[in-house]
Structure 1
Amino acid sequence: MKRLLKQSILVLAMAGMAGCTTLGPDYQPPEVDVPQQWQSSLTEASTVADREWWKLFQDPVLDELIQQALENNRDLRIAAARILEYAARVDIARAGLYPNLGYGADVARTQSSRNTLGAPPDGVGRVGSNYHAALSVGWELDFWGRIQRSTEAARANLLAEEYGRRALVLSLVSSVATAYIELLSLDRQLEIARDTLKRRAENVDLFRVQFEGGVVSELEVAQARAEYETTAILIPAIEQQISITEYNLSLLLGRNPGPVARHASIAQLVLPQVPGDIPSQVLLQRPDILQAEQDLVAANALIGVARAAYFPSISLTGLLGLASAQLSTLLEGASGIWNAGAALAGPIFSGGELDARLRVSEAVQQQLLQKYLVTIQRAFSEVDKALISSQKLREVLAASQRQVKALKDYNKYARERYDEGYVSYIEVLDAERRLFDAELEYTRRQGNSYVALVAIYRAMGGSWVDAAEAVADKVDFPPQDAPESRHWWEYPPATRPAAQNQP
């Protein structure tokens, strides 16, 4: 029996080492027209896109919020679980490359009829027993590369999920920074509105006293009250925006909606330089571009799977075991049984289904090829728009700052001339109104300048995503119930063994 078992294993091993043909096209990266430089010209630039750029704002609360988001965001945890799912799918796909070993045992006790052909003669018992134990083996020989292409597609899908998670990390960090900047901008707008409301309340009180003394008319009192109420309307609207922004930011942090701490005012936030001197080729490492390419790799491999369906599947089967009518003789050499065989099955007529499946796989591959190319084009467009927006917003911010200074002078001189009796109070109201609007607009533009800078980092991607992802990996990888031994594709990219970085 041992000799038979060795012979069976030898036959299967020799068959497995036989050469096979992998059908379908091998993946070739498409040619990409990469611009040599960005469309916008920057006079102020520093190469910081590969650093943890949010730390350049020098706000420890922002740093802490981003870390909380990376550790607790629910969407990131879902993405981590999806990676584990697709890692298991790779194991499922590649399992077909190996023999399937199985075992079985059964015991049966039967009674035969004396009224059928082949019935036992008189004097022979009608009741008998059968004991059976066996090992079985089956192996589909991957002559046409169907299993290899399926495994290739599964690995590409896994990498696409990993890059999708990296894209989520990129979006999450940018969204947290943007929301925090918006909170600081709203805080400053609320401060300006409350200070203005306080001054206008003082004006109302003063004009009431002057009206009672016959110094001013009811018209001027009504004007002061109108300006007061106009400012009062803005305060609850700003407070509502603050609450909504805090609640949205709380969800990004993976916690229940509630207040969010702030460290500094928007005026104290450091405005870093615009990132520049970055080769356009770096953009091809953006997670969404890499994800689109892996989707294309998977679709390309599935063409081979569809083509392999035209050819027969060849399987080897074998069985080695024992069978006996008596349990006491089951282990004797005479009880040995075995069989070995090969099976071949293939299509003859399928009503055009195989042709249709091949056309489907080829059409999907073409769709994903165009999606990959348009993702690259969109990425370059996003970077250029973000760069020019940041540059122009800074120019607008500088002009807005000069406008505020000029309106402060206008307000000062209007008040002085009113006190001297040279102008009416309408002139003072106009100066105050224009200054108030300009201060609010300057604060909004200040926030927009920071947000535009965040948009540049988000559009460019860069290796800073690795540092951010490493923070999330400390929590999400590996889960507590995961096995200690993992395949290379189960590691996050930042911690994957260097020698096994490629599928």
Structure 2
Amino acid sequence: MKKLLMKRWLGLPALMASLLVIAGCSLAPTYEKPDVNAPAAYKETPSLSQSEAGTWKTAQPSEEMLRGEWWTIFDDAALNDLERQAQEANQNLKAAAARVKEARAINQTARAGLFPTLDAGFGPTREKLSPASQFQPPDANIPAQTLWRAQASVSYEVDLFGRVSNSVQAANADTQQSEALFRSVQLALQADVAQNYFNLRELDAEADVFTRTVSLREEALKLVQRRFAEGDISELDVARAKSELATARSDAMTVQRLRAASEHSLAVLLGKTPAQFNMASNPLKPVTVRVPPGLPSSLLERRPDIAAAERSMAAANARIGVAKAAFFPSLTLTGSGGFESATLGDLFNWSSRTFLLGPFAGTMLNLPIFDGGRRKGNLANARAVYEEDVANYRQQVLVAFREVEDNLSDLRILETQTLTQADAVNASVRAAQLSRTQYTEGAVNYLDVIDAERTVLQSQRAAVQLAGTQAVSTVNLIRALGGGWGDAMPAPVPEPSLAKN
């Protein structure tokens, strides 16, 4: 019997040594970003030349790259000031910053598992020991006693099979995901401010069109009333002229209402109440900035939402290792040392020293045997979460490519459409001038004049709206590309003619 016990005790060091050798070994699958089949070039950009094709490189994470103040390419001091205000006071951005702090705090908690815990205590305890624990006969009377203790205790979980290290890796990835999501919120805020600003200026331009239209229709009504007073026309033309004037005034009020709502939305983005924000009227001028889209591979590096999806995938991969480690033994080393005595005066005497090595409760080495399938379910869940994150990542990449292509095609078509609409404006203005001249001479009736003036108004509004759409699409392309990208080359674009008719 003694030989058998001796063999078992001699085998324990070998077992402990084996466990310490495998400490830190990770059971997580080797992490690799899934292939997303990124194209060599965008559909809306010309084919790459041989030299340009040589610049292709595998996408590397660069979500921490400084995006810069990309909105300054519009060379608009008012927009620059609005962006600054939004960065300082927007509440959604502050909430995103708080979420980053939360993730970093959780990460710090996870990293604490890599280090031992150390505690200290001081105080008296009242205890009564059993005779058996003191190697006394069962009927021995061991009196209760008060003991004073001043002790420090230490506990450390050996990182067997990578449970602790994988938990830390998952927490690191979660923190990086939170930081990428913050940058995504920041980019969205910057783009929303620019879009709202250009929408507001577009409405100012529309209001300017209606101001000139109302003025012209007031002049037309005076002309019709004079001719009616002279008996040249019937009262029907007067009624039609009044109707057109009232309609133009009503449409102008609609634009004013839309402008007020747009101004209120911009105020909220700046962290202000609508009552605290007013913006002077400033009609929109065509945006001439042309944004280089770069290579599709750079999109995977630059988009913060793609970076966030990739980091979520990395965290899920690490948690598979945590779930696998639960199937294997865990090893916790504990110990305590200090002073213990029956009186406070003798507590810190050298003869009062004491120590304890080994677990305080339970066993040092725990081996799971049966749990009703809990660990198996946790592992299946971890793998399913990873598969979901992979699908989400690939979908996010597809959406990013679509958004870039959408805005590239919008800007390409808008460039031609703007020129075509400028021709339509000029032609409608000329037609209105001719119809008014012919009406004065009695060659046409007033319905022809009304139709011509309506066409002028419609074509001018369409030109203004196209200019607004072009500005917003430029902002959307920058947003789809992930923010700042380098130098943007301005290209002169003829301004649509908004000449008075």
**Fold-level match, TM-score > 0.5?**
yes
Distance (Å, rounded) in 1 between the aligned partners of 2:450 and 2:484 = 53
C-alpha offsets along residues 101-128 of structure 1, whole Å, 9 cap, x if unaligned? 111111246899xxx97557xxxxx896
* Contact map agreement 1:282 1:462 (CA 8 A) in 2: no
How many aligned residue pairs are there?
A: 437
**Which TM-score applies when normalising by structure 2?**
0.82
Q: How does 1:173-252 map to 2 (within 5 A)?
A: 173-252=190-269
Cα 1:228–1:350 change in 2 (3 A) is: same
Q: Does 1:145 align with 2:149?
A: no
Residues 32-51 of structure 1 mapped to structure 2, 5 A cutoff? 32-41=36-45
Does the CA-based 8 Å contact 1:15-1:141 persist in structure 2? no
- Aligned pair 1:396/2:440, yes or no? no
Task: Provide, for residues 128-185 of structure 1, a one-character-per-residue CA deviation record: whole Å limited to 9, x for no partner.
Answer: 6421111111111111111100100000000001111111121111111111111111
Alpha-carbon distance in 1 for matches of 2:463, 2:355:
88
The equivalences for 1:32-431 within 5 A come to 32-41=36-45, 52-108=69-125, 129-258=146-275, 259-262=277-280, 264-267=282-285, 270-276=287-293, 278-285=294-301, 286-342=303-359, 343-431=364-452
Q: Deviations over 1:283-315 (max 9, x none)?
A: 012111111100000000000000011112111
- Offset of 1:218 from its aligned partner? 1.1
Residues 308 and 127 from structure 1, CA distance in 2 versus in 1: closer, same or farther, beyond 3 angstroms? closer
C-alpha contact 1:61 1:261 (8 A) present in aligned 2: no
Conserved 8 A contact 1:86-1:157: yes
Mind listing any 5+ residue stretches in structure 1 that lack a counterpart?
A: 1-13, 44-48, 121-125, 466-503
SS of residue paired to 1:426:
helix
After superposition, where does 1:403-482 map in structure 2 within 5 Å? 403-463=424-484
Equivalent-residue separation in structure 2 for 1:19 and 1:263 (angstroms): 71
- Alpha-carbon distance in structure 1 between the residues aligned to 2:335 and 2:67: 57
1:356 Cα deviation (Å)? Answer: 0.9
Instruction: Report deviation, 1:463.
Output: 4.1
Aligned letter for 2:297? Answer: Q
Counterpart CA distance in 1 for 2:18 and 2:350 is 29
CA distance in 1, matches of 2:399, 2:378: 31
Quote the Cα distance in structure 1 between the aligned partners of 2:222 and 2:46: 52
Secondary structure at the aligned position of 2:40 is classed as: coil
Provide, for residues 199-247 of structure 1, a one-character-per-residue CA deviation record: whole Å limited to 9, x for no partner.
2233334433432332321110111011112112212211111011111
Equivalent residue letter for 2:279: A
**2: CA distance, partners of 1:71 / 1:229:** 44
SS in 1 for 2:232: coil
Matched residues in 2 for 1:464 and 1:158: separation? 25
Look up the equivalent residue of 1:371 and give its one-letter code.
Answer: N
Distance 1:308 1:162 in 2: 28
Give the % identical residues. 33
What CA deviation, in whole Å up to 9, does each residue of 1:340-367 have, x standing for no partner? 0151223211111111110110011011
Name the TM-score, length of structure 1 as normaliser.
Answer: 0.82
Partner SS state of residue 358, structure 2: strand
Question: Using the alignment, how far apart are the partners of 2:311 and 2:319 within structure 1?
Answer: 12
Moved over 6 A (4+): 14-17, 109-112
The 3-state SS of whatever aligns with 1:169 is helix
Q: What is the RMSD of the two structures over their aligned residues, measured on CA atoms?
A: 2.5
CA distance in 2, matches of 1:83, 1:281: 27
The AA in structure 2 aligned to 1:31 is: D
Find the aligned partners of 1:256 and 1:16 in 2 and give their Cα distance: 63
Which residue type is aligned with residue 284 of structure 1? L
